[in-house]
Structure 1
Amino acid sequence: MSQEEAPNVISSEQSSNPTDSNQTVGTGGTTRKRKSMRSRSDVWDHFTKFVNEVGEHKASCMYCEREFCCDPKRNETSSLKNHVTACKKFPGNMNTTQTQLNYQPTKGQEGNGSGTLSIWKFDQEAIRNALARMIITDELPFKSVEKEGFRHLMSVACPRFHIPSRSTVARDCYQFFLEERSKLKNHKGEALGKAIEKCLLDWGIDRVFTVTVDNASSNDVVVGYLRRRLINWVDRVRTAVRYVRSSLSRLKLFKKCVENERIQSKSLLCLDVSTRWNSTYLMLKAAEKIEKAFDMFDVEDPFFSSELDSVDVDGIRKPDHEDWEKVRKMATLLHNFYELTIRVS
């Protein structure tokens, strides 16, 4: 065998006994390490790659045929993964409507194991509505949904949820506005009255003299409702006083409660005339000085609470702490008018 043939023999022997798969035999018997290939993402099991007529790299979902950009140099696979977890036609997501048990700990009692059980199921539209409500309530910018932190949170908390774009969130918020505006147009007078009452309570406004409205017919119902509610703040005390004064035995028991509470007041319970504000002032002034006696009377007389509940029409019941606070404010307000009336007359 000639020397010229020797390299070929050596090469042949090396090829018949290959070394590691990542090594390649070079010229003259030298070896070099082959460059390792990046592992292929599992997401491509659900998409088909193609190049469209304008030369763009695209990926089409195998289930709903939705197209995504997939340029290997500019696009990542995050959007594809998010679509797979949210695609309604993906076989793995067909049971997304199945209900699950959800445990919610009681507020302020997280450490003692107390809470409530409820059922939960994944609902893309419901989460989108909740997201729009959060944007409106917390006055967040629409672009918050495109921030990296929010997307990471949703990928951990609810990977199935397909996060909408800022434009979609803006449309959802506008749709909320249209729905609420429609509800306002269809509100009845009593519903409007309840809304105004809630505002008065939230803002701490309990001195309402006048309510100015236009000539809409529903406003008559609104004003009537507010009048009843405002009067009820006093009616609860009036009903309690009427109950105590309805019999001598009850009045005697009540006086005993005043003595046991060591209330130093010579004021006696008096019932007002509802059409005379000055008599209402005298009733409230006398009653609020012996407020604690009503609490003891409720314990001593087993029929006190039940009797007041039986005449409950618009929330009339035995007065509580909040009612007495309103009575004190009302009595302070009426005191100035009462003194002025005395001076004039």
Structure 2
Amino acid sequence: MCTNIGAGSSSSLGDCGETGETPTLASETPQMLDDVGALAMEIAESPNLNTAKPPKPNLKRKQRSDVWNHYKVELDANGLKTCQCVYCGHKYLRISSKSGTGNMLRHLDNCPRKKTKDVGEILTESKSKFDPEHFRELLCSTIDVHDLPFRFVEYERIVACFEYLKWDIKLVTRNTMKADILKMYEKEKIVIKSTLGKIPGRLSLTSDCWSSITSDGYISLTCHFIDEDWVLQKFVLNFSLMPSPHTGATLSNKLYSMLCDWGIENKVFSLTLDNAAANDSSVDLLLTQMNLNNSLLCNGEFFHIHCCAHRINLVVQDGLKDINQSVVKVRESVKYVRGSQMRKQKFLECVNKVGLDRKRGLRQDVTTRWNSTFLMLDNALYYKKAFMNFRLSDPNYKLCHSSEEWIKIEKIHGFLSLHYDVSNLFSGSSYPTANLYFRPVVMCYSSLRQNQNSSDEYIKKMVELMLPKFEKYWSDFSMILTIAVVFDPRYKLQFVDFFYKKLYGPNSGQFLLVKEKLFALFEDYCKYYNDKFDLDKNGNSTSSGHNCDFTNADSVAVVEFNLLDVEFGLSQQKSQLELYMEEKRLDVKSNLDILNYWKGTQFKYLHVACMARDILSIPITTVASESVFSVGGRVLDQYRSSLKPSNAEAIICTRDWLFGEKAIKREIPTNDLAVDFLNVDDEPQTGSSMT
């Protein structure tokens, strides 16, 4: 038994168990001694007890300094230990384990390569406390915006990363993550609902039907509006399960229930849909329902908007049904080049030989997307010299075009380019498109009419297929989208008059109809906003104030004042809309920010600005650019199809609310829809399972 010597003793026993020997006392028989002093005397008189302090064992001391996270210990050529900085390679000689680390620590402060601190240092030095709730919110947003599966939080290496950053972190399960995302959805929905209740104007809506790979139907609802700062806003409100059958009645009931859920059933201006037959009947039923509550202006005359991009797509698809043999040869040539790696390499050598850029890419078209055919022709024309050179290097290549065939391809490409540019223009969602409708559509119509008698039979044949369908849609053109160009100060109503005269001659009934509908809508706006804000017909306040009283004035003065209107003419009685249209137009070539223009003009033409705010927010297409050209339906990917409908809606809507357009950048750009296989150095991409 080891016994600690009391105070006053000049020596100690040390660690009694280190030597393995038991001290021998003078007395053979052990006895209990109450007097500590007597025991000490007896120990001192013992001849066999070595009172010297035993040597401590040579235990290896742990390197506990943080400096060892930044240095590695190695043996040099002479067998001496050196400490090398992991950043710059500077070495220190380590003579023994007792050598200090001061020099090495001071070096770290001045190391030229150690410009940033590692994660461990940041967490150690950070004065802020770890907020687990904020951490979970970040996890939710990460899973949402990047389309990650819920089980992402259970991935082994992700868990290891989190635990490295904070060893005592409390991780969540996939089920908890689902619940968190649903909570975030409900929280953000309250914010969006409050925002929609405060907007200064009306909402324009778009709706689409989608299907999953399991054949479940979904319906999306997106609202578009211009806020009080004259910024175009867009929110995906719903992505809801749509049970069968998808009849007009079920679509109408579903849409109206979604509007009521958001509390916007009385704030709607228009609804843009594609050309499905069920959509027309659903709009009729929805109009009847909304007119019962007087929810729409002009009894909903301008409520239904047909998707313009979809109509252009259908027109062009008809023109490509009987495609020219020269275009077929381009397709077959592309297939031939991609047939083997050796051919690809040969073609690339030809590209380099004629000095063309290989990065542009040679593309294979996709039959369901007419723009991919346009892009295939566009790139084939760019590589025309490479194809000619390829024919010389590959005797088996028999598909090279003659000079006449290349001319045909150039003309077909030029004919389609206008429709391609118009479709891209219409598909924008970050800028107003309603004011952009009239001019491009008229240009497409004029192009078709001019090419009716084309000397090129293949162009003439395409026009014969396209023009009847275009005229069918033109006869059912959207009046409100023609009116929209009036609110572009570069064009106004004179622009409509100019083009109708070119198409139909002077005094056309179409122009008079547009003008009549424009002023009828303006009168409805005047009535609505005058009742709402207590204004007169010119937007002036009629509330009581310091009014001049002429009742006791000299009668001659009163008469003279009343004659002012006669002196200055009846122009003082013109409406705001008339005054706006009489104002000088801006330069057509000016790069105008139309929303910024109306932001600065809104107080000059109050009622006209209210009209402009609502009309300019109308989206003229229901689809994003990457699906404008598709003739197939909109289909959810494998990951979204595997989600429960409530989870899919929460993820899609919340991502749009929190990240908006930034989240859409992950989608495939329009120019990448065609398959680009020219770069033989590219590694094949492999998809990951997202369950």
TM-score by length of 2: 0.15
By relative contact order (CA 8 Å, sep 6+), the higher-ranking structure is: 2
TM-score by length of 1: 0.30
Higher helix proportion (structure 1 or 2): 1
